[in-house]
Structure 1
């Protein structure tokens, strides 16, 4: 049996996430302390005791979700259940940074700072209200690509996330995305609904953020990962630091090819998927992509105790 660790993206945030891990494992607490120090603020206090509206702000959610994932990984390592037991890692959007941190390609402090920069740059790339994202349920990928192209006109509307066979997310100008929702419903989509996000991620409107991330990534050390990382924009494993850096820049405007990434992992023999951090969204997607797989969500001490039991 081959195992992969997968790391969640934005939307998995919740007040209190990771707190029980920090209380149960000194190594997990140390992760939150290092992230606080890197950001020169107590992000941990916001995660555990703050308002969900503040935690959901992109510039906070991104480093917070990563910190929670790394705390869960630190707890697994303390129990001898960590990276020595995996063949691949992968992450959904910002989760790719968590995966790279887990694989030793980017230090924890640098990862936190990069995600704070990434979150702010994505938020600032498009004025509030100009862009939107929507989930289309019940149409396959090729059909949604055609819907987005039909709706775009002289605006931006494109597939942002190919999540699983039942869900494809589109992104772009708000008017074009709303047109796409109506076209999708007319073509038989079960649902097509706007998402409660603050910016149109993973589309051409994010070009200013990609430029910011190019500069930011040029200033940090990126190493070859200790295990291959299956990257969003290529849906295949990457093991070279130079490619990692370039693909993280491409990821800002590029498509999150999660369905294809999981299919690649299945083709490589991975049957066991551990979702490391907050929530269970990826586990559900993976099961819908390939039923003959096993999933575990690892976000609490109880989850880790169940592994040992």
Structure 2
């Protein structure tokens, strides 16, 4: 009797171009400037990545005033920072290197332009997420309203003649569409971004999960508990037919009994999770069951972002 456990491995998965660029910026800064190099906030939301960089001589800080040696460079994380952080760095003569994802920077520019054009701005995103804090910090607080779900639309009061929306880059595509549809119902003339603010990697990883979720008894998503895009993948798997879905982080214990009873498992990883963590997960599943792996690719990704000029 064939008792193999089938593993469907999503592609694309793992590091996106923005994360690749951010990690590369840190690695190249260590080579160019030596250690220590400071990074404000986690460069990306993944403990394995952060701990690996710490071993190489990176010091992570929450705020710039925690930097003890002001002669050393500091890198701003891929999530982006408010304008006041750039201003603080300039005032204290800190050398900084900006690892903000170019697709997040695009949203920052949209916010600034809309503000100059006197639009009331609605930002769809998750409160307290570093990316949202960075985007809101590009313009005066009174000119932007954060909404997280459809019910928040009821409290929006028009203060200006024109209204527009922008979004966090790592949201659920489907949930965000529902919010946007509700916004358009209440504000028919609301201005949309020329191109969706949800990034290509978030969209592709969610589509890949949707493609196989209904075939899976279990779906494992490798990613950090702080990672917005990884948590959205867990939700997408559940909503699209996977019987169970789990976020696989450093403290996660594999549900052995559930794996013993499964016929098919889906596996993917968030945009800030390195491939080595997916490899480790599959090795651990293989200790429980004999496995057959099939990669299911929905699209090839070939996006690359240039490094900042000081590191080229």
Task: Give the structure-1-normalised TM-score.
Answer: 0.24
Q: Which has the larger radius of gyration?
A: 2
- Higher RCO structure (Cα 8 Å, ≥6 apart): 2
Task: Give the structure-2-normalised TM-score.
Answer: 0.24
